[in-house]
Amino acid sequence: MNAILQAAAPIAPATPAKWTVAEVEALYQMPFMDLMFRAQQVHREHFDASEIQRSTLLSVKTGGCSEDCGYCSQAARYDTGTGREPLMPLAEVVAAARVAMDKGASRFCMGAAWREPKDKDLEKVTEMIRAVKDLGMQTCVTLGMLKDGQAEQLKEAGLDYYNHNLDTDAEFYGEVITTHKHADRIDTLGQVREAGIKVCSGGIVGMGESRRNRAALIVQLANLNPPPESVPINNLVPVPGTPMAGVAPIDHFEFVRTIAAARIAMPASFVRLSAGRQAMPEEVQALCFLAGANSIFYGDRLLTTGNPEADSDEALFEKLGLRPI
């Protein structure tokens, strides 16, 4: 397997662009069958097309976030019915990880609704990382932006992946979030790379952005050096009480095109079919796998939103002849 999946390397400060927005837009404009064929070719050059990586996501600290992300149920300023909860006790996190592992998840992701973690909270999170690693699972956390030295602490605890999505491209970003900048997210990804942690970073589509915005997001991810090892592609789940509660859903075929474009632009990355999967018919999910998605979140919750039940996923995998890794 390509070495990019084996070790994290620092993001080079001056990397020539590998992809342009026009080139990725051209992928979107291909006839659908041609695009799917090309995505399958690229996918099979780097992966077994019948294998799917499964991760489970647990909210270890829910609600009360000071940020104004327009899609998020956990933003304190929006009335979404999501209460503010403290950091979960270590024993409860470990118990949840055991359940996830028993159900077939190979990676356990822990999310906390913070702008950035305080040092005292980070100490507790590193205990969680060590405990989950002791179970034999890969570990991932999403804690918001990081301060100097925090990525190194996470690496020392044995963290495998840090998730920090770009959400959308730099041009559309201000329509989604105003309490921090797109560049702040890039800075956090750089700190993660410098610490030697693998990067999990993707985005959300269906927030009212244009196809050009979607293409630009893929370009920004693909032109990181190296690209993220894991790329979650989320379909907006409109949450009542948030500014994006009434956004019209994206067309299913446009979503599949986004998966295919991400696969072609980032051939060695795991492309994860993430939030919004609960509302997708099985046939649409199958098209996403055909387009090159080879990772899912596994379990009935994604932080505060729903996800297909494990039994449903097992049934779909059996129909499609897919194997977990």
From the list 38, 54, 72, 257, the catalytic residue is: 72
* Whole-Å CA distances, 75 to 2, 116, 136, 173, 237: 39, 14, 33, 17, 15
Please report, rounded to a whole number, the percentage of residues in the chain having pLDDT higher than 70. 91
From the list 38, 140, 277, 288, the catalytic residue is: 140
Q: What is the pLDDT of residue 180?
A: 87
The answer to whether residue 2 scores a pLDDT higher than 50 is no
DSSP string, 29-41: TS-HHHHHHHHHH
Lowest mean pLDDT among 1-10, 80-89, 115-124, 300-309: 1-10
From the list 54, 69, 107, 185, the catalytic residue is: 69
Active site residue 109: yes
Residues 276-300 have a mean pLDDT of 89
The answer to whether residue 69 scores a pLDDT higher than 90 is no
Residues 24-35 have a mean pLDDT of 98
CA distance 202 to 271: 9
CA distance 69 to 75: 7
State the CB neighbour count (10 A cutoff) for residue 19: 20
Residues 45-50 have a mean pLDDT of 96
Q: What is the mean pLDDT of the chain?
A: 88
Confidence of residue 302 (pLDDT cuts 50, 70, 90): very low
The answer to whether residue 68 scores a pLDDT higher than 90 is no
Q: What is the pLDDT of residue 122?
A: 93
pLDDT digit string, tens, across residues 149-173: 999 999 999 999 999 999 999 999 9
Spatial neighbors of 242 by CB under 8 A, at least 6 apart, are 70, 71, 72, 73, 75, 78, 80
Q: Encoding tokens for residue 5?
A: 């999946």
Q: What is the pLDDT of residue 199?
A: 96
Confidence of residue 133 (pLDDT cuts 50, 70, 90): very high
CA distance 217 to 211: 10
Q: What is the pLDDT of residue 12?
A: 44
CA distance 133 to 139: 7
Higher pLDDT, 292 or 307: 292
Active site residue 288: no
Which amino acid, residue 7?
A
Q: What is the pLDDT of residue 299?
A: 57
The phi-psi region of residue 52 (left if phi > 0; otherwise alpha if psi is between -120 and 50; otherwise beta) is beta
pLDDT digit string, tens, across residues 161-215: 999 999 999 999 999 999 989 999 999 999 999 999 999 999 999 999 999 999 9
Active site residue 140: yes
Confidence of residue 312 (pLDDT cuts 50, 70, 90): confident
Would you say 297 and 312 are in contact if contact means Cβ atoms under 8 Å apart?
no
From the list 65, 257, 263, 288, the catalytic residue is: 65
From the list 38, 54, 185, 272, the catalytic residue is: 272
* Reduced DSSP (H G I as helix, E B as strand, rest coil) percent helix, strand, coil of the chain, to 5: 40, 15, 45
Find how far residue 244's CA is from the centre of its chain: 19
Domains of the chain: 19-324 (3.20.20.70)
Would you say 84 and 66 are in contact if contact means Cβ atoms under 8 Å apart?
no
CA distance 47 to 310: 24
CA distance 47 to 300: 27
Phi, psi values for residue 149, rounded to 5°: 90, -20
Dihedral sign, CA of 233, 237, 239, 245?
positive
Q: Encoding tokens for residue 320?
A: 């499609």
243: helix, strand or coil: coil
Q: Encoding tokens for residue 249?
A: 């859903």
Confidence of residue 258 (pLDDT cuts 50, 70, 90): very high
DSSP H or E stretch at residue 323: strand 323-324
pLDDT digit string, tens, across residues 71-99: 888 777 787 777 678 889 999 999 999 98
